[in-house]
């Protein structure tokens, strides 16, 4: 062994898949980056001003308890502040949840396809992933998921709206599901795209979190609030769960820039949600136009749409790339297309029309 051979790490980590980020379009075509479910609109002036104010203080550590933001958010969600835990993006909080609940020999249950971070979260903790296929209409099969619960199941992720299919879990089916799941198993509702939901029957995790101690709601400022670059998301959980997550979490992880930007975003929520409404209208326009072109796709309640193109996935991705648009292919399953500004969406529709004919 040479002095510069790599030291020994946990063998199980060698098999962990890398998270694949969305593709980047050619230079100068940033508005055509439709591969990462980002918000296409730049931050509001009030949010930029909050970040600027804080920029002169970055020699100091941030408030580790996220006090001001926690109070504003607790008020907004009408929950006690001790149920809130912040992290560097909701993906980081999801990782904490798996770490807190599952280890080798334990099972992490989720639908597939779903958010690609779940298998990584499970693998990193040495836990076993159990995947339950989506139904043919691309929705969660909650009956099959409840059937898949064993005495080793420690944590269940329900992604609603589901990334990448855009489909939601409905209130009534979630209530039935929670009745079947043991009360000591965490059920995480990953609601990264909740602000884009318009289905009146869709479940709202907060409703269930108030009455079920095992339900955790994960939300983020990255999507509707447009703060992806600052990395801030949060969980709403039972106070005992929240306390453990804070212990497991990285101290001072969430920067003061992110905390202040999030607080300013809550204060400017009306303006931000008006932008969300524009994106929802665009989503529905894109969905209708794709159907008109002959594509079959599920109703989406998120800021993206899903085309199950099977082995033609790469071909469609390339057709978009030729016009400068970066979309997100998933192997031989399908393509996820983020809804962007109208002109960017028109580019995808042009690619789709050309590809179809």
Chain residues binding ligand PMP by CB under 6 A are 37, 89-91, 115, 159, 163, 190, 192, 220, 222, 228, 233
Q: State the Cα–Cα distance between residues 249 and 251, nearest whole angstrom.
A: 6
In the complex, the smallest distance separating the C-beta of residue 263 from ligand PMP, rounded to whole angstroms, is: 16
> Shortest Cβ contact with ligand PMP: which residue?
89
Token couple for 258? 């992110």
Residue 31: CB atoms within 10 Å? 15
Minimum distance, C-beta of residue 135 to ligand PMP, in the bound complex (Å): 18
Cα torsion 70, 72, 76, 82: sign = positive
Cβ proximity to ligand PMP: between 91 and 276 the closer is 91
Smallest separation (angstroms) from ligand PMP to the CB of 73? 14
Tell the burial category of 319 from Cβ atoms under 10 Å away from its Cβ (0-12, 13-18, 19+).
buried
User: Least CB distance from residue 29 to ligand PMP, whole Å?
Assistant: 21
Nearer to ligand PMP, 89 or 329 (CB): 89
Residue 302: closest CA among 170, 135, 167:
167
Main-chain dihedrals φ then ψ at residue 290, nearest 5 degrees: -65, -40
The least CB distance from residue 192 to ligand PMP, in Å, is 4
CA dist 162 and 137 (Å) reads 12
Angstrom distances, CA of residue 275 to CA of 30, 116, 195, 271, 341: 18, 27, 11, 7, 10
Of 117 and 178, CB closest to ligand PMP: 117
CB-nearer residue toward ligand PMP: 102 or 319: 102
Q: Which is nearer to ligand PMP, 19 or 61 (CB)?
A: 19
């Amino acid at each position: 062994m040479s002095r510069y051979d790599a030291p020994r790490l946990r063998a199980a980590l060698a098999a962990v898949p890398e998270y694949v980020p969305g593709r980047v379009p050619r230079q100068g075509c940033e508005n055509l980056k439709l591969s990462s479910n980002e918000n296409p609109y730049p931050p509001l002036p009030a949010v930029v001003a909050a970040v600027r104010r804080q920029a002169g203080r970055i020699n100091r550590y941030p408030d580790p308890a996220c006090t001001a933001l926690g109070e504003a958010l607790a008020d907004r969600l009408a929950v006690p502040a001790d149920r809130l835990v912040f992290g560097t993006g909701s993906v980081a909080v999801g990782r904490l949840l798996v770490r807190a609940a599952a280890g080798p020999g334990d099972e992490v249950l989720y639908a597939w396809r779903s958010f690609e971070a779940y298998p990584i979260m499970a693998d990193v903790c040495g836990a076993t992933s159990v995947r339950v296929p989506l139904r043919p209409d691309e929705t969660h099969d909650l009956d099959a998921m409840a059937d898949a619960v064993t005495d080793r199941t420690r944590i269940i992720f329900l992604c609603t709206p589901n990334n990448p299919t855009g489909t939601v879990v409905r209130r009534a089916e979630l209530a039935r599901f929670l009745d079947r799941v043991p009360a000591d198993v965490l059920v995480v509702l990953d609601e990264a795209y909740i602000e884009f939901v318009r289905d009146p029957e869709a479940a709202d995790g907060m409703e269930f979190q108030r009455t079920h101690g095992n339900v955790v709601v994960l939300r983020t400022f990255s999507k509707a609030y447009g703060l992806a670059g600052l990395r801030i998301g949060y969980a709403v959980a039972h106070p005992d769960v929240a306390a453990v997550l804070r212990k497991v979490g990285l101290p001072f992880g969430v920067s003061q820039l992110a905390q202040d930007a999030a607080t300013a975003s809550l204060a400017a929520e009306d303006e931000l949600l008006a932008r969300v409404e524009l994106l929802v209208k665009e989503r529905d326009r894109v969905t209708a136009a794709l159907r008109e072109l002959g594509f079959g796709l599920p109703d989406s309640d998120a800021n993206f749409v899903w085309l199950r193109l099977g082995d033609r996935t790469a071909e469609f991705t390339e057709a978009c790339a030729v016009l400068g648009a970066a979309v997100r292919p998933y192997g031989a399953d399908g393509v996820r297309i983020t809804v962007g500004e109208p002109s960017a969406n028109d580019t995808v529709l042009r690619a789709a029309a050309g590809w179809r004919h």
